[in-house]
Copies of this chain bind each other. A is one copy, B any other.
Amino acid sequence: MAVYTHLSADDISALIAWYDVGDLISAKGIAEGVSNSNWLIETTGSSGVPSRFILTIYEERTKLSDLPFFLSLLDHLSSKNGPVPRTIHDREGQAFRMVEGKAAALIEFLPGVSIDIPHHDQAVSVGAAVGWIHDAAKDFGGARENDLGPAKWRELLGKCDRQSLARIDAALPDLLARKMDEIEDGWPTDLPRSIVHADLFPDNVLMLGTQVTGLIDFYFACTDFAAYDLAVTHAAWSFGPDGSNFNRAIGQAIITGYEQARQLSRSERDALPILAQGAAMRFIATRAYDWIHTPADALVTRKDPMDFVRRLDYYGTAGQTAFQPR
């Protein structure tokens, strides 16, 4: 949620001169995404019609070697007429360019706003959008291992010392050790895999009314269980901001929407409770790690790991009940 890199208007003009988008009319640094710098820019357009783009400068959390995967995924999905922004390629056909040692990409601007608290029909649309991604990505040639899977959660939690974890919450060290074992023991091995977004929080979905107009920030996308992506989305949308107040109707609407695009198998349904606990653990692991390792004076706002400890607790207690109609 910040602009980490300073780019002057001249820098941006020099960059877009490599693209067939016309001249710069406006550039505003925007508070979008958590780890990269973004500008909403407007240009005179390639055919005289003013056009808007998101200019992203990739900061250290996004690996340069992953960019071709992420950006070609955007191109693949947008070519299927889904609500995914396309990557603008430069005159040499490149999807990104280097600017002062950092990668920069020009992405299509999409209308829509992020919803804080979804109503039923919006949740159906969000679920359907997740299913659409899985379906539309079937013939995508790329693949990327999920580098934020169970092994990584254990590794990150291993770098959080007991004392620091206990300072967040006294019960946390024992709880996480026990739940991490349970999740790894119960983790499925043979569910259908897909290209997954893996981070489809409300921030990353643009809507107009009940219509999804934009799915953005694919920078955690990877190859993993399709039902895990649904579980992440369920965990991200069905609770209050602090992870309490589970809304079963919203959770159910997300699953209903998903199945409009892609039917869940029996084994996928059975796995939802463990996948959802895994989804909660994934965000606990990165948030606890950041909480403990981010200097208190850093410009970045740390996110409270307890928001997902509450979700973990809920999914562990409720089991299948969390995914059944009320």
Chain A interface (Cβ within 8 Å of chain B)?
Answer: 1-3, 8-10, 12-13, 24-32, 40, 42, 111-117, 206-208, 296-297, 299, 301
Which residues of the other chain, B, contact A115 by a CB distance below 8 angstroms? 8-10
Q: How far is the CA of A3 from the CA of B1 in the complex (A)?
A: 9
A109 and chain B: residue at smallest CB distance = B26
Q: How far is the CA of A301 from the CA of B111 in the complex (A)?
A: 31
Contact at A24–B113, with CB atoms within 8 Å?
yes
Contact at B301–A299, with CB atoms within 8 Å?
yes
Q: How far is the CA of A2 from the CA of B300 in the complex (A)?
A: 11
A117's partner among B10, B114, B206 (CB-CB below 8 A) is B10
Contact at A26–B111, with CB atoms within 8 Å?
yes
Q: How far is the CA of A8 from the CA of B113 in the complex (A)?
A: 9
Which residues of the other chain, B, contact A8 by a CB distance below 8 angstroms? 115-117
A27 and chain B: residue at smallest CB distance = B113
Contact A3-B31, Cβ < 8 Å, known A10-B116, A10-B117, A111-B42: yes
Q: Give the top 8 A-B pairs by smallest Cβ distance, nearest first.
A: A9-B113, A29-B31, A8-B116, A297-B297, A28-B30, A25-B111, A26-B111, A3-B31
Q: How far is the CA of A208 from the CA of B27 in the complex (A)?
A: 11
Q: How far is the CA of A32 from the CA of B236 in the complex (A)?
A: 30
| A–B complex contacts, Cβ < 8 Å, 25 sampled | A1-B3, A2-B31, A8-B115, A9-B113, A9-B114, A9-B115, A9-B116, A9-B207, A10-B115, A10-B116, A25-B111, A25-B112, A25-B208, A26-B112, A26-B113, A26-B206, A28-B28, A28-B30, A28-B40, A29-B31, A30-B30, A30-B40, A42-B111, A296-B297, A299-B299
Q: How far is the CA of A32 from the CA of B114 in the complex (A)?
A: 20
A6 and chain B: residue at smallest CB distance = B116
Which residues of the other chain, B, contact A297 by a CB distance below 8 angstroms? 296-297
Q: How far is the CA of A221 from the CA of B25 in the complex (A)?
A: 27
Q: How far is the CB of A307 from chain B (nearest CB, A)?
A: 15
Which residues of the other chain, B, contact A301 by a CB distance below 8 angstroms? 299
Contact A30-B31, Cβ < 8 Å, known A10-B117, A42-B111, A301-B299: yes
Q: How far is the CA of A13 from the CA of B25 in the complex (A)?
A: 27
Contact A12-B42, Cβ < 8 Å, known A28-B32, A31-B29, A31-B31: no
Which residues of the other chain, B, contact A2 by a CB distance below 8 angstroms? 2, 31
Which residues of the other chain, B, contact A1 by a CB distance below 8 angstroms? 3, 29
Q: How far is the CA of A208 from the CA of B31 in the complex (A)?
A: 24
Which residues of the other chain, B, contact A27 by a CB distance below 8 angstroms? 113
Q: How far is the CA of A3 from the CA of B208 in the complex (A)?
A: 23
Q: How far is the CB of A110 from chain B (nearest CB, A)?
A: 8
Q: How far is the CB of A228 from chain B (nearest CB, A)?
A: 28
Q: How far is the CA of A45 from the CA of B297 in the complex (A)?
A: 42
Q: How far is the CB of A115 from chain B (nearest CB, A)?
A: 6
Which residues of the other chain, B, contact A111 by a CB distance below 8 angstroms? 25-26, 42
Q: How far is the CB of A101 from chain B (nearest CB, A)?
A: 19
Q: How far is the CB of A99 from chain B (nearest CB, A)?
A: 15
